[in-house]
A and B are shown apart, each in its own frame.
Chain A
Amino acid sequence: AQSVTQPDIHITVSEGASLELRCNYSYGATPYLFWYVQSPGQGLQLLLKYFSGDTLVQGIKGFEAEFKRSQSSFNLRKPSVHWSDAAEYFCAVGAAGAAGNKLTFGGGTRVLVKP
């Protein structure tokens, strides 16, 4: 069964500093990987996705993530955080051809941005 671990429940970062959110997955085949962001009381917005090809993927809002197969990781990064990046971030794993193309989500990382 697939699983996703986001080791950090909370991260506090100063505005303008860099941000890295960790994501480790467990899956028997090549995974499809996603990062979503959720502002309070809102739905989830897709930041970026990895299906195949270049292991460094660029997303919206200046985010990027790198797929490292050897480490089973898909960490999210942003070079300079803005106050508007304060939100909860979810990593998810799925697979093509799996019944219903279901996703498994990590528990989320809440990011607080200090002025």
Chain B
Amino acid sequence: SQTIHQWPATLVQPVGSPLSLECTVEGTSNPNLYWYRQAAGRGLQLLFYSVGIGQISSEVPQNLSASRPQDRQFILSSKKLLLSDSGFYLCACKGGVNQPQHFGDGTRLSIL
């Protein structure tokens, strides 16, 4: 079965600093990968998804970007963080046809 690793688990960053969150997946090949953000008291918002290496689709305009340098690695980045970037960031993986998305444990990002 697939395992999704996210790090760090928590992160406190000042406004204007850069960001790099990493997600790696084990137990599957050529998965679809997803980044979600969950703001306090709100549901999940899909930020990016990727169906293959170097293929990134952005769902909402924002201050963030994503990259997929390897088949099982998905990175969420920002050059300059905003206060509004605070939230809980979740990486998800979908292994194949008729498979559900599975989620990592998330990264709690606080911007000061």
Residues of chain A touching chain B, judged by Cβ–Cβ distance below 8 Å, are 34, 36, 41-46, 49, 51, 90, 96, 99-103, 105-108
Contacts and interface: CB of A to CB of B under 8 A. Distances in A.
A103 B99 CA distance: 12
A44 B57 contact: no
Contact of A105 (B44, B49, B105): B44
B37 to A, nearest CB: 12
10 contacts: A42-B105, A43-B103, A51-B98, A90-B43, A90-B44, A100-B49, A101-B101, A102-B59, A103-B101, A106-B43
B68 interface: no
Contacts of A51: 98
B106 A43 contact: yes
Interface of B: 4, 6, 32, 34, 42-44, 46, 49, 51, 57, 59, 90, 92, 94, 97-98, 100-106, 108
Please list the 9 inter-chain residue pairs (A to B) with the smallest Cβ-Cβ separation, ordered nearest first: A43-B103, A44-B103, A100-B49, A107-B43, A105-B44, A43-B105, A43-B106, A49-B100, A105-B43
Contacts of A96: 97-98
Contacts of A49: 100
Contacts of B44: 44, 90, 105
Contact of B49 (A41, A43, A44, A102): A102
Contact of A42 (B43, B46, B106): B106
Given A46-B102, A99-B57, A102-B49, 14 more contacts: A36-B103, A42-B106, A43-B105, A43-B106, A44-B90, A44-B103, A45-B103, A46-B100, A96-B97, A96-B98, A100-B51, A101-B32, A101-B94, A103-B101
A45 B90 CA distance: 12
A51 B112 CA distance: 43
A45 B94 CA distance: 13
A105 to B, nearest CB: 5
A43 B90 contact: yes
